[in-house]
Chains A and B, each alone.
Chain A
Amino acid sequence: MNKKKRIRIIPSILIDNQSMIKGKNFQNHKYLGDIFNAVRIYSNKKSHELIILDKSAREQSRLFDTNLLRKISSEIFMPITVGGNIKSVEDAKKLINSGAEKIYLNSTIINNYNLISDISSEIGSQSIVVGVDVKLIGEDYQIFFDNGKKFYDKKFLQHLNLVVSSGAGEVILNSISNEGTKNGFDINLYKQVENEFDIPIIASGGASSFESFIELFDKTKLSAAAASSIFSLFGLNEAVLISYFSEKQLEELVSKYE
């Protein structure tokens, strides 16, 4: 008998300072609107969690804005994961103390896996999410960092193994090729990792509809997925519309696997 899955569908928000933005294949970002409006809607719609990543933090050599996080967490009472140039245990603690449930690491752990173990021994594994951005090149998935701009010369599974053994609590495996395309999740990517690790792997990149999630959960052992286009853009013209599945749809999805 198949084991039950505890499904999580997580809207992911990319920001540039306080503006919500959205790109395609990590490029050509457009302005979507005010972040406060978006997080209020996601909270009212009872989204399972939220991920908020500040794209400009690393470019501007600063940490995710703790004042912004304090404002957000004083309005919505739900689990939030935040990322943006977290370089030390102190950075991680500042964000947790400002209301983050979990912190997200990506570019700052490249060749620096100790950062994961150092943070984990303070705030615990369950609060560390590591983002891994990959692109299919030839037959292999290759890792990129710095918003997909830089290539990391390490085998994909080797990198994941190091991330997990250093103490990550979750991994968001993001398909750069699928990001923003609404082509569905990269099922082959997730098939490669579904049996490898104990920790949750969160799929990200390409969700186009309710059915994309069903396909992912039916075809792989994953139980969590993040998405942004589907929860922020509407129709062929991609008009801005912040939304989430209705409670009824969500319950249908969740109870299919529980």
Chain B
Amino acid sequence: MIGIINTETGNINSISNVLKKTGFNYLISKNHKELTRCEKIIFPGVGNFDACMKNLRKNSLDDVVKNLIIKDQKKILCICVGMQLLLNYSEEGDSEGLGIIDGYCKKFLKNEVNNVPHIGWAPILSKHKIFEYNGDKDAKFYFCHSYHAKITDKEVNVFSSNFNINFCAGFIKNNIVGVQFHPEKSLNVGTNFLKKFVINF
């Protein structure tokens, strides 16, 4: 069973659709007890950093996420703003992040990516044995973001992508996978990524 944390703001429907189509059971919940019974967790997020953080606190989901990751050591996939919220802070707002991974979110500059937000399909580089991607044009993911993670945590295994500059496309640390791109919106390449998380990670 895959537990999707019900953040309300995230596009939960898109993630559950992919899981349904690929034949995985899932539940959507805000309840820590329910989520601890799941083998793996997905933490979705779309939206403004502060609005997402405020919404987490309102529903006491900040503690739920921390407990699932730190206390329960659940394997968790954090998507887009869900990934960004694990960091210390973001230039997008004033709220503190969850501070689980050392780092922050930095706004792209126009001269780095032509246009901000950076939107489009890009290959990624990752040497991780389960999520191995060598920048191949046949495996592109969909990105839609103005802020990118600057990770300072030395124990983190970073996925990178490039568009005039190199930027963090995601990372893995112990039980945590964080991605800036949207696997749930990335056609077959994205579905395969989610399968790797569910089956192999």
Contacts and interface: CB of A to CB of B under 8 A. Distances in A.
Contacts of A221: 114
B146 A98 contact: no
A100 B8 CA distance: 14
Interface in B36-57: 46-51
B58 interface: no
A65 to B, nearest CB: 15
A123 B146 CA distance: 13
Interface stretch (A21-29, A55-63, A72-80): A72-80
Contacts of A125: 117, 146
Contacts of A120: 48
A169 B117 CA distance: 6
Given A73-B17, A77-B18, A123 B9 contact: yes
B119 A200 contact: yes
Interface stretch (B60-68, B152-160, B169-177, B183-191): B183-191
Nearest to B8: A97
Contacts of A123: 9, 46-48, 51
Contact of B46 (A6, A127, A200, A224): A127
Nearest to B145: A126
B122 interface: yes
Contacts of A182: none
A101 interface: yes
A72 to B, nearest CB: 10
B142 A78 contact: yes
Most chain B CB within 10 A, of A96, A126, A199, is at A126
Contacts of A215: none
A93 B9 contact: yes
A99 B117 contact: no
Interface in B116-138: 116-122, 137
Interface in A80-104: 93, 96-102
Contacts of B113: 6
Contacts of B186: 77-78
A46 B115 CA distance: 23
Main secondary structure of the interface of B (DSSP, over half): mixed
Contact of A5 (B12, B111, B114, B190): B114
Nearest to A102: B144
B11 interface: yes
Nearest to B109: A198
Contacts of B145: 126
B17 A6 contact: no
A199 B173 CA distance: 33
Given A4-B164, A79-B185, A126 B117 contact: yes
B31 interface: no
Nearest to B115: A200
Contacts of A127: 46-47, 144
A34 interface: no
Contact of B120 (A6, A98, A251): A6
B184 A77 contact: yes
B9 A77 contact: no
Interface of B: 8-9, 11-14, 17-18, 20-21, 46-51, 81, 92, 110-111, 113-122, 137, 142, 144-146, 163-164, 182, 184-187, 190-191
10 contacts: A7-B120, A73-B17, A74-B21, A79-B144, A97-B8, A101-B182, A102-B144, A121-B48, A169-B146, A251-B137
Given A6-B121, A96-B46, 10 more contacts: A6-B119, A73-B13, A77-B190, A78-B186, A97-B11, A101-B185, A121-B51, A123-B48, A124-B46, A124-B48
